Amino acid sequence: MFQTLVNVFKVPELRGKILFTLGMLVVFRIGHWVPLPGVDQTELAKAFSAATSDGSTFARLANFVSIFSGGALSHSTIFGLGIMPYITAGIIFQLLQTALPQLKKLQEEGMSGRQKIMEYTRYATVALCIMQAIGWLTFLAQQNLILPQWRENPIWWIMGVSALTAGTMFLMWLGEQIDKHGIGNGASMIIMAGIVGGIPSAFMSLRANFDPSDPKKIGWMGIILLAAGFVVVVASAVIMTIAQRRIPVQQAKHTRGRKVYGGQKSYLPLRVNHGGVMPIIFASSLMMFPSLLFSSMREWIQGAVTARAQADLAQGIEAASQDSVWLDIATFLSDAFNPGEFPYVFLYILMVYFFSYFWITVQFNPEEMSKQLKDNGSFIPGLRPGPRTAEYLETVMSRITFVGAGFLALVAIMPTVINSAMNIDYVVTQFLGGTGLLIVVSVTMDVLQRIEANLLMRNYAGFLGGGGDEPGPRLRGPRF
């Protein structure tokens, strides 16, 4: 392992890419602490600290947004929106390519078409930044977290929206520079840096709640279970991230003169977790709405019932029993969709499965893949090229997606279930599963594979090698 790290820095090109990437991430972390003027940072930090210690709807909303902003929303910095608007715009255009023939045609034109789509994505990022910045500053104003002298100043609103938009655009540029001159995907590296930056807070929260003599706090057995659970979850995430189903492919033989070409055997790899982290992102974002809706409904009915009861009491009329029935229904629905409750967990699992199949429907095209195999003179043994091959690929993908979606559902609900069952802060349990863990694992595996490829090209042992100068085995996942 240590010899491999030494070999990494022996290659000048690889060393430069790694140092450049680390330098860009340092710039990101410096900007992470540049505050937005006019915001009461002390009260904002208290509000986030009180909210993220439980599994409430606001806590999950704050945690979900903080994943993409690097936690910068908790003290409202110029990088408060993070790179999330850019990611959102990219996902929107990726989905639109399957619905709009014009965008699909641009994608098929090659580099020039992709650059045009990237230009549209940047324009959409600016629009999303402006809308999200206005929404975030309005939320701060409603919560009285803006200093009074700035609250009614229109110049401050223009400055705040401009600063948040400029911060996101700078992060977008930073990610593109990592793509060109560094190693790994720039946007993913920035997101991972923000997630990893929250690990010290989790350790501090765990240390504050550690007391072996108090049964209500975490003891040594709880620490051991958390550590073992973290190792198992990370190992499972690594396995499922690189797991693939290999379809045997036979290339047809071609006779030209006296020579025979082709006839080689190869494999068509289909990822078990084809959707990656996207199903969890979609499901977790939509699962916030039932909790917010039913909580707001309960508060509204509670206020209406209280006002009507006071009016009836003033007139000497007995309160209507129908009002209490509606309040009981709203309370039941609000409690049922709290994190950790069975209806919430069950609906969350269904949403993860739905979006897993939705994502492969959008991204996986068996007809196009079958056509490419036919054009290249390849076929799957035992299947006729064309519709039969497309049908087989779709069937295999549907079956392995069921396994991948089950793993995603388990990882998605694990932080919430542990938070409710063991009464551990959500700041700690979020590292036992969910979106953040999968992002960190996926990005880390991608970086390791790129470093591995650079080392193997120069006859150095990779991270899976034996430690000498002989190339080690390639990073491969299990076969299904």
- Is 260 strand, coil or helix? strand
Alpha-helix runs per DSSP H in 182-269: 186-196, 199-208, 220-242
Give the pLDDT score at 6. 76
Task: Output the six-digit token pair for 228.
Answer: 């073992």
Q: How far apart are CA 432 and CA 416, in angstroms?
A: 10
- Is 210 strand, coil or helix? strand
In degrees to the nearest 10, what's the CA dihedral of 144, 76, 65, 142? Answer: 10
Mean pLDDT for each 10-residue chunk of the chain (480 residues)?
72 86 89 82 72 53 60 71 83 80 81 85 91 84 80 85 90 89 84 80 79 78 83 85 86 69 78 82 76 77 76 63 71 78 85 88 84 83 86 91 89 79 73 76 83 74 51 50
Give the pLDDT score at 126. 92
- pTM assigned to the model: 0.75
CA distances from 31 to 23, 24, 112, 166, 174 (A): 13, 11, 33, 12, 12
Q: How far apart are CA 290 and CA 60, in angstroms?
A: 13
Give the pLDDT score at 127. 92
Give the pLDDT score at 421. 74
Structural domains of the chain ordered from first start: 14-197 (1.10.3370.10)
Give me the amino acid identity at 473: P
Alpha-helix runs per DSSP H in 340-469: 342-363, 366-375, 387-422, 426-429, 434-457
* Burial (0-12, 13-18, 19+ Cβ within 10 Å), 229: middle
Give the pLDDT score at 467. 45
> DSSP letter at 146?
B
Alpha-helix runs per DSSP H in 83-153: 84-96, 101-108, 111-142, 148-151
Name beta bridge partners: 262.
Answer: 253
Q: How far apart are CA 292 and CA 465, in angstroms?
A: 51
